[in-house]
Amino acid sequence: MQLILDRISHRYGGTNVLEDIGFTIGDGEIVCIVGPSGCGKSTLLRIAGGLEKPDAGEVLLSGEPARDSLNPLTYIFQDFALLPWRSVEGNVSLVLEDHGVSAQERRETIADVLARTNLSGFLGALPRQLSGGMKQRVAIARALAVKPAIMLMDEPLSALDSQTRELLMDDLIGLWQRERFSALYVTHNLAEAVRLGRRVIILSRRPGRIREVVEIDMPLEERPDRVTELDRLQRHVWDIMREEAREADREIADVA
């Protein structure tokens, strides 16, 4: 399934947040979005997932999701968004209960996704008993349970320490290699962006416009061995962002 963002513009009150953003996420593609803080990345993701209406432009889906997909467009939130009063099992179960899944099937799905995220031993644990990395794995398990066609991820790893981040990154890549979901991945971390993205979209400072699109035509499984190339790409992305920041500083100086 493809997600098409067509000339999206959005404003909050008097401030333009997004201007004329258009791109397509193809089948099984991971598209990363980077950009300065406050440029509208989270807003764009909310619009893409139908949680907010853009002022102009539209978000389109093309193609049908797999028949067993319960929630084609699925979020993974930066702050995990787990219900604190439900156990790990209950949190995953929550998103299945509304879709007419039989109790038996539900139990199987829960066991399956928790096994895939290495959480099998924590079925009955409450969120407050889990570490940050485990909470995010629960959130990922919950997202997998509805068999999404497209994942929308808002800095899913940024609340975690760097070791956990590395491990979850590997998990995520492993998952993608098996399931080939499409994803829109917002991040501050340029290394993450070049490691995951088929394309990296660099947004300008507010109002967010597409500043540049960096294509990375390198299979994910080869990336760990081609570090130098990735480094060069990452530096390229960083150069653009630094230029963006310099211009912003210059504008402020001009105003002053």
Partner 1 sequence: MSHDTQVLGSTAGKHKEERAVRQVPFRGGGFVHRPMGPIGAVVFLAIIALWEAGSRTGVISPIALPAPSEALGALWDLVVTGMLWKHVGASLYRLVIGWTLGSLLGIAVGLMIGLFSLARAGLLPLVSALFPIPKIALLPLFIIWFGIGEGSKVATILFGTFFPTVIATYGGVDNVDRNLIRMGQSFGLSWLSIVRKIIVPGAMPAILSGFRISASIAIVLLVAAEMIGAEFGIGAYILMAGALFATDQLIAGVALLSVLGLSISWLIGRAERALLSWRA
Ligand X SMILES: Nc1ncnc2c1ncn2[C@@H]1O[C@H](COP(=O)(O)OP(=O)(O)OP(=O)(O)O)[C@@H](O)[C@H]1O
- In the bound complex, what is the minimum distance in angstroms from residue 30's beta carbon to partner 1? 19
Q: Does the protein bind ligand X through residue 238 (CB under 6 A)?
A: no
Amino acid at 77: F
Query: Which one, 88 or 160, has the nearer CB to ligand X?
Result: 160
Amino acid at 133: G
Cβ(206)–Cβ(251) below 8 Å: no
Cα gap 116→5, rounded to integer Å: 31
Tell which one of 7, 27, 38, 161 touches ligand X (CB under 6 A): 38
38 binds, among partner 1, Mg ion, ligand X, none (CB under 5 to 8 A by kind): ligand X
37 binds, among ligand X, Mg ion, partner 1, none (CB under 5 to 8 A by kind): ligand X
* Helix or strand run (H / E) with residue 3: strand 2-12
> Which span (34-42, 68-76, 103-111, 237-245) binds Mg ion, by CB under 5 A?
34-42
Query: Which one, 77 or 122, has the nearer CB to ligand X?
Result: 77
Tell me the per-residue interface mask from 3 to 22 with ligand X, x by CB under 6 A, - otherwise.
Answer: ---------x----x-----
How many chain residues are in contact with ligand X, going by CB under 6 A? 11
Tell which one of 42, 69, 158, 164 touches Mg ion (CB under 5 A): 42
> Which span (39-47, 60-68, 101-109, 140-148) binds ligand X, by CB under 6 A?
39-47
**Residue 47 contacts by C-beta under 8 Å, 6 or more apart in sequence?**
5, 8, 10, 18, 53, 54, 59
- In the bound complex, what is the minimum distance in angstroms from residue 162's beta carbon to partner 1? 24
Tokens of 139: 């959130």
Q: Write out the DSSP string of 153-201.
A: EESTTTTS-HHHHHHHHHHHHHHHHHH--EEEEE-S-HHHHHHH-SEEE
| Residues near partner 1 (CB under 8 A) | 49, 51, 70-71, 73-75, 77, 79, 81, 83-86, 94-95, 97-99, 126, 128, 142, 146
Cβ density class 122-146: b for 16+ within 10 Å, e for less: beeebbeebeebbbbbbbbbbbbbb
**Residue 160 contacts by C-beta under 8 Å, 6 or more apart in sequence?**
132, 133, 136, 168
Cα–Cα nearest to 175, from 61, 67, 28: 28
> Which span (35-43, 65-73, 120-128, 173-181) binds ligand X, by CB under 6 A?
35-43
Q: Does the protein bind ligand X through residue 40 (CB under 6 A)?
A: yes
Tokens of 19: 């201007």
Binding stretches for Mg ion (CB under 5 A): 42
Binding stretches for ligand X (CB under 6 A): 12, 17, 35, 37-43, 206
